Chain A
Amino acid sequence: MKRQLPLLLTFLAGTIPIVAFFVPQRHVGLVSTNLDSWLIIVAGFALLLGVVNVIQMNANKIRRQAPGWPYAIVLLLGLAIMGFFGFAGAFNVFGGIATRPDGSSTPFDWLYKYGFLPLQGTMFALLAFFMASASYRAFRARNPEATILLVAALIVMFGRIPFGEMVSPWFPRVTEWIMSKPNMAAQRGIMIGAALGAASMALRVILGIERSYLGLGKGE
């Protein structure tokens, strides 16, 4: 029961969308579309699983006074503040979580604009610096393959900026040709291979051959 029922549920939940794809709506519509509606709700619950996990981990860190525990307090503080306004928004306290009808920001939206957005934006902006440093130190034409990679990268980098076109109209044309012909061919090959792999993995999961997502090994 503990092991077989989940596998049966996986089989049913996986087969219904597949059957619904081939069988006319009127025969499987009710089951299939109800499942779609349910999974929107279950996905919401699943998204919050991570929140519980992080609260647990950081609470333990604070309790044990593990290295870096003050930062765990900061994390939980951020979570509490944003979470409070998000939770309150569900009851229309403070005007919700978007902007109010008059255009002013609710606390949730204000925290997003002046807290979350600059923090995440800058975190990703740092990558530009790291990329420049890494390219300078490591991007070498060591062999024919690396040379092809380097030349293609330089052509695309130059062809995609206005300077490239000012030097010669051939740069943007060659860049576009690279993107739509050899790059497209390679991406297509990768896509087909990856899609076939993903589809076969999906079949293994539906048929119960692959069980690691349940925390079960092959023999269990």
Chain B
Amino acid sequence: MPSLGTWLAAFFTLCMLSFLYKDNPFFRLAESFFAGLSLGYYIGIVMNQTLKPNLVLPLIHDFGANWNLVFAAGLGVILYFRYIKRVAWVSRWALAVYVGYYVGVNMMQKLHGEVIPQIGDSMLSLSYSGVGTLWNLIMVVGVLSVLIYFYFSVEHKGLIGGISRIGIWFLMISFGAAFGYTVMGRISLLIGRMVFLVNEWAKPLIGSIT
């Protein structure tokens, strides 16, 4: 016989799947409960895995060496001032630091980690050396035509229009491939749930009945 936990999981799974027939209160119930659980999960992991080991315990055990963490805590608490009308403007300070930091990190990440290596790897040899040259040509033409397609400051007609069209074809191949992979991805998620329902719930249930 399936355990209590398995029964609960099967119940929730079937509630969600019932939406395929039509929207119904069981689905709404499961959906709302899921939303609540996910927020409760955030509380658990943030408190246990970040705030306790990285803030609270260092301050308690060695305040002298970790006093600067008080500023981090301050910034974090200030974020919540947005819910108090009189001092909501103070929360902008914490938001400014938070957004500024991640935007700065992101800028270097994009330029150094994406633009430069990707452009660098696009500098492929086009001198004849067998079929590899053809593939290099395809890649160079593909990258350039897609970049030109996305350059909207110039009207797409004439030569630019022609190159853009080639870019669109490359994009269509890429989106087709992405669609194929997306189908695979979505089906994988369904397989996971069905394997649970069949192997962990239905089979033990039928086995215990017969």
Listed in ascending order, the chain A residues whose CB lies under 8 Å from chain B are: 2, 5-7, 9-18, 21, 34-35, 37-52, 54, 56, 68, 71-72, 74-87, 89-90, 96-97, 108, 110-129, 131, 135, 145-146, 148-157, 160, 178-179, 181-193, 195-196, 198-199, 201-203, 205-206, 213-215
Judge whether B52 and A90 touch: CB under 8 Å: yes
**Contact partner, A195, options B69, B76, B111, Cβ 8 Å:** B111
Q: Is the interface of B mostly helix, strand, loop or mixed?
A: helix
Shortest distance from the beta carbon of A6 to any chain B beta carbon, whole Å? 4
Q: Is A78 in contact with B52, judged by CB distance below 8 angstroms?
A: no
Known contacts A97-B44, A185-B146, A205-B103: A157-B189 contact under CB 8 Å: no
Q: Kindly state whether residue B75 has any CB partner on chain A within 8 Å.
A: yes
Are B111 and A199 in contact, with the CB atoms below 8 A? yes
Beta-carbon contacts of B85-105 to A below 8 Å, as 1s and 0s?
000010011111111111111
**Contacting pair A41 B50 (CB below 8 A):** yes
Separation in Å of the A182 CB from the closest CB of chain B? 4
Closest CB-CB distance, A23 to chain B, in whole Å?
12
**The 3 A-B residue pairs with the shortest CB-CB distance in the complex, in nearest-first order:** A86-B44, A78-B36, A82-B40
Determine if B42 and A183 form an interchain contact, defined as CB atoms under 8 angstroms apart: no
A-B contact pairs, 12 of them (CB 8 A): A13-B100, A18-B108, A39-B97, A71-B29, A76-B36, A129-B190, A154-B176, A178-B177, A186-B170, A191-B118, A193-B150, A199-B106
Assembly CA distance A206 to B127 (angstroms): 43
Chain B's closest residue to A18 (CB) is B104
Chain A: CB-nearest residue to B174: A186
A-chain residues with CB within 8 Å of residue B50 when the two chains form the complex: 40-41, 43-44
- Contact present for B193 and A183 (CB under 8 Å): no
- Interface contacts (Cβ under 8 Å), in number, total 399
The distance from the CB of A191 to the nearest CB of chain B, in whole angstroms, is: 6
A6→B78 CA distance, assembly (Å): 13
Could you say which residues of chain B place their CB within 8 Å of the CB of A5? 93, 96
**Complex formed: what's the CA distance from A72 to B32 in Å?**
7
**Known interface pairs A39-B98, A186-B170, A192-B114; A181-B189 also in contact (CB < 8 Å):** no
Which A residues are in CB contact (< 8 Å) with B55?
A: 41
Q: What CA separation (Å) do A68 and B27 show in the bound complex?
A: 13
Does B133 sit at the interface, judged by CB under 8 A? no
- Establish whether residues B33 and A153, one from each chain, have CB atoms under 8 Å apart when the complex forms: no
> A199, B107: Cβ atoms under 8 Å?
yes
In the complex, A96 Cα to B47 Cα: how many Å?
A: 11
Known interface pairs A6-B96, A37-B54, A78-B34; A123-B173 also in contact (CB < 8 Å): no
Chain B residue at minimal CB-CB distance from A44: B50
- B17-55 contacts to A (CB < 8 Å): 17, 19-20, 28-48, 50-52, 54-55
